[in-house]
Structure 1
């Protein structure tokens, strides 16, 4: 068969187009697969870091007050009001600002006794309670505040907790420690895996502020001796971060 020389370039061009199309069709699945694998398997190291700074607290929070009994509701309430007023005056005399104490709970309720003979509850009197939430900014006064309570006839200390008036600088230190901890972990993982870190790709603060545990002193205080000694100890300020490093 004789091919016209004028048509030869056209035929060669068609062959080239067909060959190129076949190459693209064959190579395309491989390209897609490579991209998918890269997206599903990023070169990243994920770590978390923790930082803790222990400090001595400089502020105390107390829930304290008086619980009174009476044959009538009025008698119980009047007795309670009298002692609560003396307590507030004592707090002011100690230099505690009015903005640093407030009524946390106020109750007046009947007391009953069950009579098994009649299967009925018998009223035996009334009970009144007044609890104040007090912020003691001079933490060394904490014991003196409890002494003032007992001196005026108060008989309930529910909770004592400690904290910091301003924890900004301490919390910053805890965050710095958390970042250092996360970076150290990433470096160890990279070295053990034989890779080299290229930088931080993501960092987030995962700190959850813990609720300071309350020391529970809920009981009658009538027999408590004066000069209450309070062990302040230290508190932990914590921080946590999550970091992603590339390699």
Structure 2
């Protein structure tokens, strides 16, 4: 009798342990299934806006590029002619108050001059060309015409370009950038008001790279020779900035 009771108790204990074990497995599987199911995301409205602005500034620097091209029977003679004229030009420009650091030799070239014979399809060297190009930075815009005049009066016979620029362009760009930011915020507020939502701080702010290219005034040799200081005007330079905001 006691043996039967003991067996019954043992059976109950075993069943209890089995039940607890099965329940534990069920809970683990349920938790795993719940974790593997994708969570329902709350749809949120995303607002992207671009702000654009610009400021106008008067240039305070001009970069002038011109040079001398000479020809002679030998390379040495051609180069000597060019060097003599270049040195004369540099001395004349310095007398106008241009600093030596603002006068840069851009390029020196020496190359042969060929003559072509149609009868035998042969070519031969009959001389040489020598050229030197100078780049001069003029930090007083009112002197640009005088620099060009002086260069050509003293032997320059080639002219590449005339470029206007701004020495402290960073300050003007920051002004444009601040305006672009305000422009973007205004657009975002208009959109949010129309959608009936409120805006917090932007999640993403991007400053878009924008290359501000200074204006270039190309002039032919004839135009440069006839130029006077009153005919060369820098005008204004437009400096742009762009900003993108994401809310």
Q: TM-score, normalised by structure 2?
A: 0.81
The match for 1:120 is 122
8 Å CA contact retained: 1:49, 1:241:
yes
Deviation (angstroms), 1:94: 0.7
Aligned counterparts of 2:223 and 2:116: Cα–Cα separation in 1: 27
Aligned counterparts of 1:58 and 1:156: Cα–Cα separation in 2: 25
| Cα deviations by residue, 1:191-224 (Å, 9 ceiling, x for unpaired) | 222212122222122233333343223x445982
Deviation (angstroms), 1:29: 7.5
The match for 2:38 is 32
The match for 1:162 is 164
Aligned counterparts of 2:169 and 2:192: Cα–Cα separation in 1: 35
How is 1:102-181 mapped onto 2 (pairs within 5 angstroms)? 102-181=104-183
The match for 1:227 is 228
8 Å CA contact retained: 2:66, 2:133:
yes
Deviation (angstroms), 1:123: 2.1
Deviation (angstroms), 1:169: 2.1
The match for 1:3 is none
The structure with the greater share of residues assigned to helix is 2
8 Å CA contact retained: 1:154, 1:221:
no
Does the C-alpha gap of structure 1 residues 221 and 156 become closer, same or farther in structure 2, counting only changes over 3 Å? farther
The match for 2:245 is 243
Does the C-alpha gap of structure 1 residues 118 and 180 become closer, same or farther in structure 2, counting only changes over 3 Å? same
CA RMSD in angstroms, aligned pairs only: 2.9
8 Å CA contact retained: 1:150, 1:222:
no
5+ unaligned residues in a row in structure 2: which ranges?
Answer: 1-15
Task: Tell me the SS of whatever aligns to 2:65.
Answer: strand
Structure 1 stretches of 4+ moved >6 Å: none
| Cα deviations by residue, 1:172-200 (Å, 9 ceiling, x for unpaired) | 11001110111111112212222121222
The match for 1:97 is 99
Q: TM-score, normalised by structure 1?
A: 0.81
Task: Tell me the SS of whatever aligns to 2:202.
Answer: strand
